């Protein structure tokens, strides 16, 4: 394996996907911002969930909203909770009600009408994400889906599907964080800029 060529190919693929995101996802990125800004203005919150790398992304994105992304802004916290961080909750849920139900249970307990769920799934087919989306919808919440590939089953049940145009999990995850940073910055500048 030529390591230099591998690095070049990986970076080029990543850059190509980012350019496709601009072409294919810009409208839904704007739509996501247009859901989040009024939700936060009305005192609502953002809940986030995902598995594996998407669980880490949930935490990363929640921190950007709660703390701040743009260091030139002095702003209050924007309420965002990653449902992926409480090990006692996740393990009790996995043991007692099944792992497929852990995020839906948290949405049931923490979500309110007017809140927003950001559901992250690179495949769009994770059962616990699908159930969380269904629970959020039943509670009158809006749902933004960070998805990949074809968008899977999630694309048809979320309000705003942002589908990274790639079948490569690494590129999808990179795209999710890039889109999250764009959304967060647009939201915080809309609210406090």
Tens place of pLDDT per residue across the chain (193 aa): 799 999 999 999 999 999 999 999 999 999 999 999 999 999 999 999 999 999 999 999 999 999 999 999 999 999 999 999 999 999 999 999 999 999 999 999 999 999 999 999 999 999 999 999 999 999 999 999 999 999 999 999 999 999 999 999 999 999 999 999 999 999 999 999 8
- The edge-to-edge listing of strands for the beta sheet with 160-164 is 80-82, 46-49, 116-120, 142-148, 160-164
Would you identify the CATH topology of the domain 25-192? Rossmann fold (3.40.50)
* Chain centre to alpha carbon of residue 177: 8
β partners of residue 48: 82, 118
The Cα-based distances of 142 to 16, 17, 157 in angstroms read 30, 27, 11
**Quick one: pLDDT at residue 193?**
86
What residue spans define the domains of the chain?
25-192
- Asked whether 134 and 126 are in contact (CB, 8 A), the reply is no
Work out the angle at residue 48's Cα, subtended by the Cα atoms of residues 45 and 51, and round it to the nearest 5 degrees: 170
- Asked whether 25 and 95 are in contact (CB, 8 A), the reply is no
**Quick one: pLDDT at residue 88?**
97
Q: Is 81 helix (H, G, I), strand (E, B) or coil?
A: strand
């Amino acid at each position: 394996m030529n390591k230099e060529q591998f690095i070049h190919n990986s970076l080029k693929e990543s850059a190509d996907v980012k350019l496709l995101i601009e072409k294919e996802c810009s409208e839904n990125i704007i739509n996501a911002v247009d859901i989040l800004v009024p939700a936060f203005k009305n005192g609502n919150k953002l809940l986030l969930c995902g598995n594996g790398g998407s669980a880490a992304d949930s935490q990363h994105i929640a921190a950007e909203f709660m703390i701040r992304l743009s260091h030139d802004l002095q702003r209050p916290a924007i309420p965002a909770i990653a449902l992926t961080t409480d090990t006692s909750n996740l393990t009790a849920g996995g043991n007692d009600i099944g792992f497929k139900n852990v995020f839906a249970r948290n949405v049931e307990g923490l979500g309110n009408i007017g809140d927003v769920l950001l559901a992250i799934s690179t495949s769009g087919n994770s059962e616990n994400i699908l159930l969380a989306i269904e629970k959020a919808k039943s509670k009158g919440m809006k749902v933004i889906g960070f998805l990949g590939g074809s968008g899977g089953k999630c694309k048809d049940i979320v309000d705003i599907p942002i589908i990274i145009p790639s079948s490569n999990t690494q590129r999808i995850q990179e795209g999710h964080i890039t889109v999250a940073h764009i959304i967060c910055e647009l939201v915080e500048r809309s609210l406090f800029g």
